[in-house]
Structure 1
């Protein structure tokens, strides 16, 4: 009953009886028991009445189990690690209330090794939280630099890379932007009302659905198999591995396959095998 009232702030005896699957008489008996236990709960009759908790009532930490307290603190530590605002003070208060010391079990650094890109992520994060459009320079898959204005809705970590999803005002459609290609994002001060519930199903920047690729990878590249693929997507063979991946088809995909050098080959689809062969021929011409 306390948890329900903390959430709703007010409820009728009949609502509580239905929610708790007890009689109205039992609800009033429980109200009396809670009141005797020192919980500031009271009932008012008439229009607009109901059962209330005092406005300044705070749930005592003793009503939370040890495991519930631990999960709350771990959740807040995760937010702090991801640089979510205003978590330090809350962590300090709850840590004191629960009489628990913090355990810095997680750290998040959005930048690649040797780079610092935290400012970029901070701007996008703040824009998402404030529902404020951002403008930035963006390098498309074709290498062309364009200025974009986007209503950012969500950050996404997918296939070993960070992306920002939102509504692109330039294209008048939803788009997914790879964070490494975003330059100098700035908040515009213009707010929007869209929510991430409006995002379409998984697509790449051009609106294409991911394609399924099967690679044969030589045993010499075992370290990359373990680093870059999930166990359920890999099958061991006599001379290496069969690795399956579902990714958008773009220049990144072609470059990724070629990054294995002579130690990998596309098994399917046949069309991708042909595209990789064409690029290999072009590479040979560049060195002839």
Structure 2
């Protein structure tokens, strides 16, 4: 937030000769003392900004100062704009204003190059806003409280110091320190409900990270499977599997050799293909599927 404010202060001063600290404080909804700290920061960064006292005084830039955009290459300018455009999907404060000003400074037209919806299809507005609550708690270092459902459906109440959001294994996770369990944990966002950001602050601490930077993979067991998917199921093949794991057969079917999570999810995932899939190996997965199908048949 401070970086955005610093940029906007410089932008304002480039277009307005002088402005008082009080006016800036009211504009950004911060204290006058905070504005003066920002002025010191800008001055330390080499920007010729100064404050004058008395009638008609205020904060100004030297008359001949020009914000030098030439220090950034065309590619760097685009990377900054694209990064901010990506950040705007999380509804970060002031992002749209900063984007507009940077586009003006770089003489570029804004391009809506990315759109992300963090909620499942058909979910309500309350569910969709959950990601924003988590993001705000991380940025403001406030403790989160929520109900969490395990993979087996067990519900538990959690109190967590949120640290960062992680996208891994086709899903979003919250990484944080669970005060309820007194340990570092990953929480799958879709399993969190009734998320509340409390007023209680916490101090930032470093989390223990494995060598592969992911506790999710460390605690997840995997199994190599060989699948055959018919031509009718082709629409899912390249969406859900790495091209290096896929062999296209002469009859337009596909043989896929890959590693998948060895848990209940795997059975449900395979069944989601219906008759378009056959598990070639391992045999124990074939046996589990046969029993599952027998149970399904009994119900119908």
User: One fold, TM greater than 0.5?
Assistant: yes
Establish whether residue 262 from structure 1 lines up as the match of residue 275 from structure 2.
yes
- Is the contact made by 1:204 and 1:210 (CA closer than 8 Å) also made in structure 2? no
**Shift in alpha-carbon separation, 1:249–1:168, aligned structure 2, 3 A:** farther
> Aligned match of 1:235 in 228, 237, 247?
247
Distance 1:269 1:160 in 2: 24
- Is the contact made by 1:176 and 1:205 (CA closer than 8 Å) also made in structure 2? no
Distance 2:168 2:66 in 1: 39
- Is the contact made by 1:163 and 1:179 (CA closer than 8 Å) also made in structure 2? yes
Q: Secondary structure at the match of 2:219?
A: coil
Establish whether residue 103 from structure 1 lines up as the match of residue 96 from structure 2.
no
Q: How does 1:67-216 map to 2 (within 5 A)?
A: 67-116=75-124, 117-188=127-198, 189-195=200-206, 198-200=208-210, 201=212, 202-204=214-216, 207-216=219-228
**Shift in alpha-carbon separation, 1:131–1:278, aligned structure 2, 3 A:** farther
Question: Deviation digits for residues 71-95 of structure 1, max 9, x if unmatched?
Answer: 2212211111332332122212222
Residue 228 of structure 1 and its aligned partner are, at CA, apart by 2.0
Distance 2:104 2:45 in 1: 28
Residue 272 of structure 1 and its aligned partner are, at CA, apart by 2.8
Please give the TM-score of this superposition, normalised by the length of structure 2: 0.68
Q: Secondary structure at the match of 2:112?
A: coil
Aligned to 1:271: 284
Distance 2:85 2:193 in 1: 29
Where structure 1 has 5 or more consecutive residues not aligned to the other structure, the ranges are 1-50
- Count of aligned residue pairs for this structure pair: 236
* Stretch of structure 1 that moved more, 212-221 or 266-275: 266-275
**Shift in alpha-carbon separation, 1:63–1:193, aligned structure 2, 3 A:** closer
Aligned to 1:251: 264
* Stretch of structure 1 that moved more, 113-122 or 272-281: 272-281
Q: Secondary structure at the match of 1:53?
A: coil
**Shift in alpha-carbon separation, 1:54–1:165, aligned structure 2, 3 A:** closer
Residue 247 of structure 1 and its aligned partner are, at CA, apart by 3.7
Aligned to 1:53: 46
Residue 55 of structure 1 and its aligned partner are, at CA, apart by 6.1
Question: Deviation digits for residues 163-219 of structure 1, max 9, x if unmatched?
Answer: 2233333333333322222111112324142345x3334344992344333322122
Please give the TM-score of this superposition, normalised by the length of structure 1: 0.71
- Is the contact made by 2:227 and 2:281 (CA closer than 8 Å) also made in structure 1? yes
**Shift in alpha-carbon separation, 1:89–1:229, aligned structure 2, 3 A:** same
**Shift in alpha-carbon separation, 1:214–1:125, aligned structure 2, 3 A:** farther
**Shift in alpha-carbon separation, 1:100–1:192, aligned structure 2, 3 A:** same
Distance 1:228 1:267 in 2: 18
Where structure 2 has 5 or more consecutive residues not aligned to the other structure, the ranges are 1-43, 50-64
Residue 225 of structure 1 and its aligned partner are, at CA, apart by 1.0
Distance 1:195 1:185 in 2: 23
